[in-house]
A and B are shown apart, each in its own frame.
Chain A
């Protein structure tokens, strides 16, 4: 969808991601990040017109867990607030719509989770339909293995290329102080490791992470006041493929392709792309669906393979592109977020700095 108002990301903060943060509850985990995102632009909650968060009770193991996390915002006097049971990237989409519709000029968006209390691959199986797939409890890694196998059989990728993606991502993460995994063993060593869900090895999978992120959006001159170089959202769109794996060609992502088209990815050079690919082979699907060329730097942060807080990793992709535009390192970038198994649902945003 093409925007009618100029809206930009003006601030971004994230946790230093860890496998497990048992000493903090969710509100204690996310509050410093929300505070950092607001403090960076000298804002308080009273400067924010709309607040939207993304999280999941299935991950928290608690009903209405997002309500308690709202304590981190300081929602008094009462604020305009909403929540999505999705990645924070979709909370950002809702906030963007709210600003487009003229009901707010600024928004605070955050997404977070603690995946550590539950058994994540099993918890994620609860996203499946309740009649056919759900009762079989297929875990997320096994499902991704089916997709990787389909790609290898189609001659689109091989295990060495997958290992190279893992290696490049985690080596890039050496420059990311928030990353959970920094650095990688050499590719031949990676390929000598045992399979987890053949053809996937441990290095092909994103880590399990406790963490989150926060972003501030602002329209027009407010954005210019708050950031020396805001990352304007030139286009943003999200699309979904069938939940029925058997009805999909798992080696492609039509929903990403369509979202990229609607967001206008091809309308200019892409300096940087942050792709939310929790498995190595999925980066290749996304690169093709987005039509990215070799000139684009992909996942300089390390991507989801370096840290993958559920409900936050997609929002972090938007934040990482913002950071590079704000610093002047990039002028135009693409951020992608995914939700569900096997890249079922995909959000694509085109961000751009003013010259």
Chain B
């Protein structure tokens, strides 16, 4: 259905207000507008992740998932950014979390981006690790897409030990775990 105002006449601009000046140079026609210019631009950054993300990334190199605890309410954030967004105080206590959890949200991706994207379609997932307050992002494989559901239990699949690095890519993907589903009610507020 066309939009309701498809036939609406666009109000013309007041004369003189938005008019383009007419070229006065001989041989310079009004319709000779430059359509585009090419301006290559690049800036190189030496980005550093900061103290808490450094602790997290170093943990991954040792096949450990290290969250950090809110100093007031005890919530565990993973991956940590060094701060509790709820109280605005630094997280200082590290908590090792298991590499298993519950699918808290997912979508089916039909157009893959990036060199490491799996063949499409695949499932992008948020995983609430056992003991964490917020969910981690990852890819869910080893299950037919139509069987994926919120509340299902999942486990990390790591790269081979000699490939482990201080990188989120040390976790290759997540796979289903043969355990009973968690009620969606219990995932509220943790996505």
Q: Of B10-18, B84-92, B176-184, which binds chain A?
A: B84-92
Whether the Cβ atoms of B83 and A28 lie closer than 8 Å is yes
Across the two chains, which residue of chain B brings its CB closest to A68? B81
Q: Which residues of A contact B83 (CB under 8 A)?
A: 27-28, 31, 71-72
Whether the Cβ atoms of B85 and A76 lie closer than 8 Å is yes
Across the two chains, which residue of chain A brings its CB closest to B77? A71
The verdict on B171 contacting chain A, using a C-beta distance below 8 Å, is no
* B positions within 8 Å CB-CB of A: 37, 39, 41, 43-54, 81-90
Across the two chains, which residue of chain A brings its CB closest to B52? A28
Cβ-defined partner of A28 (8 Å) among B44, B47, B82, B86: B82
A11-48 residues at the B interface, CB under 8 angstroms: 22-28, 31, 34-35, 45
**Distance of B51 from chain A, by nearest CB (Å):** 6
Q: Which residues of A contact B44 (CB under 8 A)?
A: 118-119
* A positions within 8 Å CB-CB of B: 22-28, 31, 34-35, 45, 58, 61-62, 68, 70-76, 116-119, 122-123, 126, 130-131, 134-135
Whether the Cβ atoms of A70 and B43 lie closer than 8 Å is no
Across the two chains, which residue of chain B brings its CB closest to A58? B43
Q: Which residues of A contact B54 (CB under 8 A)?
A: 23
Across the two chains, which residue of chain B brings its CB closest to A21? B48
Q: CA of A350 to CA of B51 in the docked complex: distance in angstroms?
A: 39
Q: CA of A35 to CA of B53 in the docked complex: distance in angstroms?
A: 21
Q: Which residues of B contact A34 (CB under 8 A)?
A: 88
Q: CA of A177 to CA of B46 in the docked complex: distance in angstroms?
A: 28
8 nearest A-B residue pairs (beta carbon): A74-B88, A25-B50, A61-B45, A71-B85, A71-B83, A117-B45, A28-B82, A22-B48
Q: CA of A134 to CA of B41 in the docked complex: distance in angstroms?
A: 9
Q: Which residues of B contact A45 (CB under 8 A)?
A: 88
Q: Which residues of B contact A123 (CB under 8 A)?
A: 43
**Distance of A120 from chain B, by nearest CB (Å):** 10
Q: Which residues of B contact A135 (CB under 8 A)?
A: 37, 39
Whether the Cβ atoms of B43 and A61 lie closer than 8 Å is yes
Whether the Cβ atoms of A71 and B84 lie closer than 8 Å is yes
**Distance of A283 from chain B, by nearest CB (Å):** 29
**Distance of B24 from chain A, by nearest CB (Å):** 20
**Distance of A38 from chain B, by nearest CB (Å):** 9
Across the two chains, which residue of chain A brings its CB closest to B37? A131
Whether the Cβ atoms of A117 and B46 lie closer than 8 Å is yes
Q: Which residues of B contact A134 (CB under 8 A)?
A: 39, 41
15 contacts between A and B (CB under 8 A): A23-B54, A25-B51, A25-B81, A25-B82, A27-B82, A27-B83, A28-B90, A31-B90, A35-B88, A58-B43, A71-B83, A74-B85, A118-B45, A123-B43, A126-B41
Q: Which residues of A contact B41 (CB under 8 A)?
A: 126, 134
Q: CA of A191 to CA of B43 in the docked complex: distance in angstroms?
A: 33
Q: CA of A197 to CA of B116 in the docked complex: distance in angstroms?
A: 45
Whether the Cβ atoms of B88 and A25 lie closer than 8 Å is no
**Distance of B149 from chain A, by nearest CB (Å):** 29
Across the two chains, which residue of chain A brings its CB closest to B72? A74
Whether the Cβ atoms of A74 and B86 lie closer than 8 Å is yes
Q: CA of A122 to CA of B41 in the docked complex: distance in angstroms?
A: 11
**Distance of B42 from chain A, by nearest CB (Å):** 10
Q: CA of A130 to CA of B87 in the docked complex: distance in angstroms?
A: 41
Q: Which residues of B contact A26 (CB under 8 A)?
A: 50
**Distance of B190 from chain A, by nearest CB (Å):** 14
Q: Which residues of A contact B48 (CB under 8 A)?
A: 22-23, 25, 117
**Distance of A243 from chain B, by nearest CB (Å):** 16
Q: Which residues of A contact B51 (CB under 8 A)?
A: 23-25, 28
Interface centre among B37, B39, B43, B86, by most A CB within 10 Å? B43
Q: CA of A122 to CA of B42 in the docked complex: distance in angstroms?
A: 10
Across the two chains, which residue of chain B brings its CB closest to A44? B88
**Distance of A317 from chain B, by nearest CB (Å):** 26
**Distance of B101 from chain A, by nearest CB (Å):** 22
On whether A61 and B86 interact (CB within 8 A), knowing A25-B81, A71-B81, A126-B41, the answer reads no
Q: Which residues of A contact B39 (CB under 8 A)?
A: 130, 134-135
Q: CA of A24 to CA of B54 in the docked complex: distance in angstroms?
A: 9
